[in-house]
Structure 1
Amino acid sequence: MRYRYLHYDVFTAERFGGNQLAVLPHAAGLSTEQMQAITREFNFSESTFVLPNEREDTDIRMRIFTPGQEMPMAGHPTVGSTFALCHEGVIPAGQKRWVFGLNIGPTPVDIEWEGEGASFVWMNQNLPRFGPQIDDIGIADSVGLDHDDISATGLPVEQVSCGVPFVFIPVATRYAVDRAKPNLEVFRSVCQDAGADDHAMFVFSAERAGDR
């Protein structure tokens, strides 16, 4: 059996820019193993597989894979797949809300239209769930920064998830963000000690561009 796929560049107005995404708009009949193998073959950061709807509170079922694993949810694949399904006519022109059945559950998107084409998509996130707080010193070592870079913020290092857990690492300055050099081996060890997931980290500063 043949399966069509669509190649989208998400979060860009130019070809070959943004984040690449493969969308299989009619993927019924593929096994989990086949979906994973196809995703590895594309080797994009994610691929999506659109399936018949399974629930009364959703419009369509969709599964998201990276080359290494299936994801509970992800942002750019959901946004990109919305545009793809609008272009394919699966989402009717003018429909303002569409609910995907993702592995984390119903996930609505809001759609703005210009004529027959979707022009903007808003993805609704689940409420955040807060996980373990993590030792500042160990985390500082895991990103190659001084302890003071983190402690000066007065904010905790904490796992937060809206579907995919990230360790949020606040630092005092934009310069500290630029200096950060993740050591994944140390990061995994620190997360394991804290009982946190080591899926990803997000190093950020609230310092504005004009603050220095």
Structure 2
Amino acid sequence: MSVEFWLTTLVIVITPGTGVVYTMAAGLSRGARASVVASLGCTLGIVPHMAAAITGLAALLHTSQLAFEILKYAGVAYLLYMAISTLRDKSALTVENAEPEPVRKVIVSGIVLNLLNPKLTIFFFAFLPQFVAANESGAFIKMVGLSAIFMAMTFVVFIGYGMFAASIRNHVISRPKVLTWIRRVFAAAFIALGARLALAGM
């Protein structure tokens, strides 16, 4: 396993994106447990993209403008939905959360966020082959192994982000003005990510 792979993977997973924003929002609003669940959901959302890259389906997505655009704008719409939901859910950031958000809902939201990002498929299609020679024996198995490592690092890093958010939760949720700005920041982050995705080309 090359040092380049570890370093590249680390840089990629620690760079804030949709998954990080969602995981931190979960940790800040629902606590440590929710941040772990959100991290799991975001990590599972990577699986279809890696599977597509490994099996070669990404090549079709890369060459089909229509397929790319449909998936891209579905992702943009979902990010805007997350932004609106963040602004409207004023009961989420409270000390007394009577009803914690269902685990399944948190996981599904995390999966959908990453699933509806076609750039991930194309990214892995370009990323994984850099560390596996085309004529290398057991190339398929090695790509699966590299994918598993990428997912494990993603899960760990996202938990770190989520735990940090959860650790400062009690210090901010008792301040109404701070909560208002936090909701606005997260909503703005989702909107910004949606705009970036909308402007992304193949």
- TM-score normalized by structure 1? 0.24
- Higher-strand-fraction structure: 1
Q: Compare CA radii of gyration and give the structure with the larger one.
A: 1
- TM-score normalized by structure 2? 0.25
- More RCO (CA 8 Å, sep 6+): 2
